[in-house]
A and B are shown apart, each in its own frame.
Chain A
Amino acid sequence: MRTTDWLQLALFVAALALITKPMGLYLVQVLDAGGRTWFDPVLKPLERLSYRLMGVKPEREHNWKQYTFAMLMFSVVSCLFTYAILRLQQYLPLNPQKFGALSPDLAFNTAVSFTTNTNWQSYGGESTMSYFSQMVALVIHNFTSAAVGISLAAALVRGIARHTAQTIGNFWVDLVRVTYYLLLPICLVYAVFLVSQGAIENFKSYTTAKLLEPMKVQVAKTDKDGKPVLDKDGKPVMEEQTVTEQSIAQGPVASQMAIKMLGTNGGGFYNANAAHPFENPTPLSNFIQMLSIFAIGSGLTYYLGRMTKNQAHGWSVWSAMMVLFLAGVLLCWWAEAKGNPIHQHLGVAAADGNMEGKEVRFGIFHSALFATVTTDASCGAVNSMHDSYTALGGFVPLFNIQLGEIIIGGVGAGLYGMLVFVVLAVFIAGLMVGRTPEYLGKKIQSYEVKMAMLALLVLALSILGFAAWASVSKWGLAGLNNSGPHGLSEMIYAYSSANGNNGSAFAGLNANTPWYNTTIGLAMLIGRFLMIVPIMAMAGSLAQKKIVPLSAGTFPVSGATFVVLLIGTVLLVGALNFLPCLTLGPIVEHFQTLLGKLY
C-alpha cells in the first residue's frame, strides 16, 4: 500500500466530489421537461420530432402505474428487438468475420442482459458478435437502459418532493431527454478522449499476425457440430493445440466504451473487457473510466437534495455511500496487497501482492479500486479477474453487489435502491423513538414499508434461490471449474451479479450452457423489474401525501446520526440476508487458505 496509491485514492475521491454538484445541477435541467441546457438549439428540434413520431404529448404526465407500464412496454419491445437481431446476425450487415446467429438460449440471455442494464456476457464479444450486433442490438440498450434507470430515480425523487400530486413525470419525456441531453453529448466527447488514449474505432476485419514463437495451448475438444465434448463428470475434455498465428480483433470500440462506463452497463467489446488495451489503453483512461462509472450516480445525490430542497440530505446520502465505498476499497486493496498467505508460508517473496489475474499495467491498487467501483455501481466492467482475488479481496465485490449496489450505484438504480434503505432507516428510527416515521415531511406508513420490503426481499429470494438450485443440480455443478467454497462463491456471485444487474463474474464458472443462460436470464429480469415495480408504487404513494411541518419529534435526515443509521441499516439488511452464504463461501475459504488449502 504505497504512498502514491494513497494519493491516487485521495485524488479519485476529490475528483468525484468536485463533479457531483455540476452534474447534479445539470441533471436538474435535464430531468425537468421545461429545463434549459446548452444543447437546446441543436437538440430541441430533435426532441420535439421524437415526441411527434412516438405520439407522445410531453405536457401530459403519468401516474405511477402509467409510468411503470410505459417502462415495461418499452423494455419488452426493445428486448425482443435485440433477440431478433442476435438470432438473425448472419443475414445482417457489418459482419466481416461472418459470425453466425447466437443460439436461442444465448440470444435470450444476452437480450435480457442488455435490456436490464446488466451486460452479463456469456459470450466473448470478439468471437461472437458482428459489428452490427454490437452497435445496434447492444449499444442502443446501453443508452436506453441507463436512461430508464435515471428516469426511474427521477420519478421516485419527484414522488418524494411533490405533495398531494397524482403524477410523477412522463416516462417518454424522461427517456428522450436523458438520452439526448445527458448521455449522447458526454459520450461523444468521451469516445474522442478514449481514441486519443489509444482505443480503436474502425470497421476493419480482424488482423492476422504470425507469432514469432509458436505456442501450445489447452482448448476444449469439440465434436463435429461444434459442441464441447464432455467427460463422464460433465466437464469439458481438453486437448492440446499448437498456435502459430494470432488474430487481432478490431471494431468500433471507443464509442461503446464511453456509454459502457458512463451508463454503468459494463459489457465489454472484447472478452477481456477493460483489461484489454484497445478498451482501456492507459492509466489515464483507467482513471477516467472509474470516475465516469460514478459520475451520474454521484450527481443524482445532489439532484435529490436540490429537488427536495434539502441539500444537506443529498450530501448525507452521498457521505454514507462514500464511507461504504472507502471501507470496501481499503479491505480489497489490503487483502490483495498482502498477497496469498500460502506464498508467505512457503517463503516466497510477495512484494507485489496477489498479482494473479491482474494486468501488470494497473497493478494491485488500480485493480482493487476498479473492482470496488464496478461493483459498488452496477457496472460490472472489469480490468482484472475477480475470480483470482484472495478470498477476502473477492468478498468485497461480492458483498457490494449483495448490498444492492447502492454505494453510488448504477445510474438511477443506485439512488432508488438507496432511497429504499432511507425509508427503512427512517422507519426503524421511528420505531426506536416511538413516533410515526417521517421522511422529508411525508409520513412513512405501512404501505411504503411493505413496498420497500418487497423491493429488498425479491433480490435475496432470487439470489439465494437460484444459487441454491445451482449448487445441488447437475446442470449447475457441471459449470464449475473450482471445488469447495470457491466453487460456491462462483455460483453465488453469478446470481448476485445477475440479480443486481451488475454483470461481472467470478470467471471460473462456465455459464454458457442452456441451463445457466436461462436461469441467469430469469434472475436478471427478476432483479431489475420486480424490484422496480414496488419502488414505483412507493413513489406514487409518497407523491399523494401531504407534507407535514417539521416538529421536535421529526428525525433529521441529514448529519452524522442519519449517516450512521443509514449505513447500519444497509449493513444489517445485507448481513441478515447473505451472511450465511458468505460464510460458506469466501469467509471459510479465507480461513482454509490460512491453513494452506486452495480451491
Chain B
Amino acid sequence: MECKGPNRPGPGRSSQKRPERGNHKETTSMSDLIFIGVIVAFFVIAGLYAAFCEKL
C-alpha cells in the first residue's frame, strides 16, 4: 500500500518548497528584462483583446 510520504512539507497555502535565503542570488539583468517584457507584453495583448472584443 502506498502512503502519502512522511517527508511531505508542512501545512501551508501555496508551493511548499520554502525558498532558502540563498534563493536570491540570480541577479541577471537579462532575466529581469525578460520578465518585465512579459508583463508589459501581456497588458498590450489585453488592450488589443479589448479592441478585438469591440469589433466582434
Are B27 and A101 in contact, CB atoms less than 8 angstroms apart?
Answer: yes
Known: A510-B15, A522-B42. A599 touches B25 (CB 8 A): no
The main secondary structure of chain B at its interface with chain A is: loop
Q: Which one of B3, B7, B13, B22 has the highest number of Cβ atoms from chain A below 10 Å of its Cβ?
A: B13
Task: List CB contacts (< 8 Å) of A381-408 with chain B.
Answer: 381-382, 384-385, 387-388
Instruction: Determine if A124 is an interface residue (Cβ-Cβ < 8 Å).
Output: yes
Task: List CB contacts (< 8 Å) of B6-34 with chain A.
Answer: 7-28, 31-32, 34
Are A83 and B11 in contact, CB atoms less than 8 angstroms apart?
Answer: no
Instruction: Determine if A154 is an interface residue (Cβ-Cβ < 8 Å).
Output: no
Q: Which residue of B3, B17, B21 is within 8 Å of A598 (Cβ)? A: B3
> Within the assembled complex, what's the spacing in Å between the Cα atoms of A580 and B46?
30
Are B50 and A537 in contact, CB atoms less than 8 angstroms apart?
Answer: yes
Are A99 and B21 in contact, CB atoms less than 8 angstroms apart?
Answer: yes
Chain A residues with CB under 8 Å of B14's CB are 120-122, 503-505, 507, 511
Known: A504-B14, A509-B15. A597 touches B35 (CB 8 A): no
Number of interface residues of B (CB under 8 A): 44
Known: A222-B20, A507-B9. A87 touches B43 (CB 8 A): no
Which of A3-11, A526-534, A545-553 lies on the face that meets chain B?
A: A526-534
Chain B residues with CB under 8 Å of A266's CB are 13
Are B15 and A226 in contact, CB atoms less than 8 angstroms apart?
Answer: no
Q: Chain B: which residue is nearest A69 at the CB level?
A: B47
B22 to chain A, nearest CB (A): 2
Number of interface residues of A (CB under 8 A): 90
Q: Render A480-493 as a binary contact track against B, CB cut-off 8 A, 1 for contact.
A: 01110010000000
Instruction: Determine if A435 is an interface residue (Cβ-Cβ < 8 Å).
Output: no
Are B53 and A451 in contact, CB atoms less than 8 angstroms apart?
Answer: yes
B30 to chain A, nearest CB (A): 9
Known: A512-B15, A596-B1. A87 touches B32 (CB 8 A): yes
Instruction: Determine if A565 is an interface residue (Cβ-Cβ < 8 Å).
Output: no
> Within the assembled complex, what's the spacing in Å between the Cα atoms of A102 and B32?
11
Are B25 and A225 in contact, CB atoms less than 8 angstroms apart?
Answer: yes
> Within the assembled complex, what's the spacing in Å between the Cα atoms of A525 and B49?
13
A539 to chain B, nearest CB (A): 11
> Within the assembled complex, what's the spacing in Å between the Cα atoms of A112 and B9?
25
Instruction: Determine if A335 is an interface residue (Cβ-Cβ < 8 Å).
Output: no
Q: Render A44-66 as a binary contact track against B, CB cut-off 8 A, 1 for contact.
A: 00000000000000000000010
Chain A residues with CB under 8 Å of B46's CB are 72, 529-530, 533
Chain A residues with CB under 8 Å of B40's CB are 76, 80
Instruction: Determine if A450 is an interface residue (Cβ-Cβ < 8 Å).
Output: yes
Chain A residues with CB under 8 Å of B16's CB are 271, 505, 507-510
Q: Chain B: which residue is nearest A220 at the CB level?
A: B17
Are A272 and B11 in contact, CB atoms less than 8 angstroms apart?
Answer: yes
Q: Render A108-146 as a binary contact track against B, CB cut-off 8 A, 1 for contact.
A: 100110000000111110011000000000000000000
Instruction: Determine if A218 is an interface residue (Cβ-Cβ < 8 Å).
Output: yes
Chain A residues with CB under 8 Å of B13's CB are 121, 266-268, 271-273, 380-382, 503-505, 507
Are B50 and A107 in contact, CB atoms less than 8 angstroms apart?
Answer: no
A484 to chain B, nearest CB (A): 8
Q: Render A262-288 as a binary contact track against B, CB cut-off 8 A, 1 for contact.
A: 000011100111010000000000000
Q: Chain B: which residue is nearest A486 at the CB level?
A: B4
Task: List CB contacts (< 8 Å) of A511-541 with chain B.
Answer: 511-512, 516, 518, 521-522, 525, 529-530, 533-534, 536-537
> Within the assembled complex, what's the spacing in Å between the Cα atoms of A536 and B8?
43
Q: Chain A: which residue is nearest B10 at the CB level?
A: A272
> Within the assembled complex, what's the spacing in Å between the Cα atoms of A69 and B16?
36
Chain A residues with CB under 8 Å of B18's CB are 123-124, 127-128, 271, 512
> Within the assembled complex, what's the spacing in Å between the Cα atoms of A53 and B50?
28
Q: Which one of B22, B25, B32, B39 has the highest number of Cβ atoms from chain A below 10 Å of its Cβ?
A: B39
> Within the assembled complex, what's the spacing in Å between the Cα atoms of A281 and B14?
21
Instruction: Determine if A342 is an interface residue (Cβ-Cβ < 8 Å).
Output: yes
Are A106 and B19 in contact, CB atoms less than 8 angstroms apart?
Answer: yes
Are B17 and A512 in contact, CB atoms less than 8 angstroms apart?
Answer: yes
Are B53 and A533 in contact, CB atoms less than 8 angstroms apart?
Answer: yes
B15 to chain A, nearest CB (A): 4
Are A516 and B3 in contact, CB atoms less than 8 angstroms apart?
Answer: no
Q: Chain B: which residue is nearest A226 at the CB level?
A: B22
> Within the assembled complex, what's the spacing in Å between the Cα atoms of A534 and B53?
6
Q: Which residue of B9, B24, B36, B42 is within 8 Å of A83 (Cβ)? A: B36
Are B35 and A272 in contact, CB atoms less than 8 angstroms apart?
Answer: no
Are B35 and A599 in contact, CB atoms less than 8 angstroms apart?
Answer: no
Known: A72-B46, A504-B14, A512-B19. A104 touches B26 (CB 8 A): yes
Q: Provide 5 A-B residue pairs closer than 8 Å at the C-beta atoms, listed in order of the A residue.
A: A76-B43, A104-B31, A120-B15, A222-B20, A387-B8
| A-B pairs with lowest CB-CB distance, top 5 | A226-B22, A511-B15, A100-B24, A104-B31, A121-B14
Known: A80-B39, A100-B25, A108-B39. 8 other contacts (CB 8 A): A106-B19, A128-B19, A271-B12, A275-B11, A505-B13, A507-B12, A522-B42, A599-B4
